[in-house]
Amino acid sequence: MKTAIILNRALKNAGDYFILESSRKLLAENGFQIKAELPGHKPISSMHYGTVNSSDYLVIAGGPCIQRDFHPRIYPLIQHTRQLQCKLLLLGVGLGANSDALTKKSISVLERAIVTTRDVDTATFLFKYGIDAMFTGCSSWFHASPVTSYKTTYDNVLITTAPGHIAENIKLIDVTLRLFPNAKITCTFNRGLGRGDNPPTLDIVNFCERRGIEVVNLEGGATEMVKLCGQSDFHIGARVHSHIACVTQGVKSILTIFDKRGMGQSRALGTAPYDIYFLGKLNGSLPGAVNRALGSDYMHVAAQIERQRTFIQRYLRKLAK
């Protein structure tokens, strides 16, 4: 058994908490003893150097952290990285919005790390810089038991909104109401209500309330998000980890893609035939996507998750020896 310290960057977004909790579980089930968690958005305090360096691994638990300023802006780590004596493991990381290039400081840290990625797009990006990376999937893919079938009745439809893009979110909700006129519609906000997103979400909340749609604030934890996803019958929306929480619990899902994060997961999970671009003409694209999704059994998605589950389990157990 190997020991690990996890760097925790879950501050608000339910999806970040989902990644964190799934990473804890995955590590613990595959031969790692988690000694402590430290805040990832702050430099590691000198008082923790001993704890970190006496551990076998310092783990960055997923998320879209592969960006231009991975170090020191996203993960400050230790001021002088040569002081980091344990192994650095990036577990199921992905591309962020600002990932057109990497700084020299970011490259120097990533070159010394063990890197597993949540999609092939991220691994391919890192290869360009000579950084070895292995596609495993996001830890959240493996939080639940294997799916044996997907739901085929659609009485409860879940919508997740994209940050900002008020007009497009309202259009998505409006089209979904027309496509599922007899369903109970719930709209969730993974980063909270009001001014937590920029621009604020209040216009979307007000629209939902006028149309009789239940609004749920999910910020600050993952439990309610995972529960709602599992209880729904169908999901449409932009939140990547709500998409994952659905397809890993037997719920068909359409991801409305608005950046590299969604694109990578859509391809990796195998949901690309049903997923659509969020900023496109939803009146035309969403009905077709829903028809394709309803006509699929989605079992190729479950099969992809199980292939990667077997792979990451074997890989982590090898590291933990």
Task: Identify the pLDDT of residue 3.
Answer: 98
Confidence of residue 83 (pLDDT cuts 50, 70, 90): confident
How high does pLDDT run on average in the chain?
A: 94
**Long-range Cβ pairs for the range 163-169 (8 Å, 24+):** 163/191, 163/197, 163/198, 164/197, 164/198, 164/199, 165/258, 165/278, 165/279, 166/199, 166/201, 166/203, 166/204, 168/278, 168/279, 168/282, 169/204
Euclidean distance between CA atoms 62 and 106, whole angstroms: 16
Name residues whose C-beta falls within 8 Å of residue 148's C-beta, 6 or more positions apart in sequence.
250, 302
Tell me: pLDDT of 197 over 60.
Answer: no
Query: Which domains, from first to last, does the chain contain?
Result: 2-143+306-320 (3.40.50), 156-296 (3.40.50.2000)
Confidence of residue 199 (pLDDT cuts 50, 70, 90): low
Query: 200: exposed, middle or buried (C-beta count within 10 Å: 0-12, 13-18, 19+)?
Result: middle
Tell me: pLDDT of 196 over 60.
Answer: no
Name residues whose C-beta falls within 8 Å of residue 124's C-beta, 6 or more positions apart in sequence.
none
pLDDT, one tens digit per residue, over 133-160 is 999 999 999 999 999 999 999 999 999 9
Query: How many residues belong to the chain?
Result: 321
Confidence of residue 198 (pLDDT cuts 50, 70, 90): very low
Task: For 25-42, give the DSSP string.
Answer: HHHHHTTEEEEEEEETTS
Confidence of residue 283 (pLDDT cuts 50, 70, 90): low
Euclidean distance between CA atoms 110 and 278, whole angstroms: 32
Tell me: pLDDT of 194 over 70.
Answer: no
User: Is the peptide bond preceding residue 163 cis, with omega within 30 degrees of 0?
Assistant: no
Rg (CA), the chain: 20
Tell me: pLDDT of 303 over 80.
Answer: yes
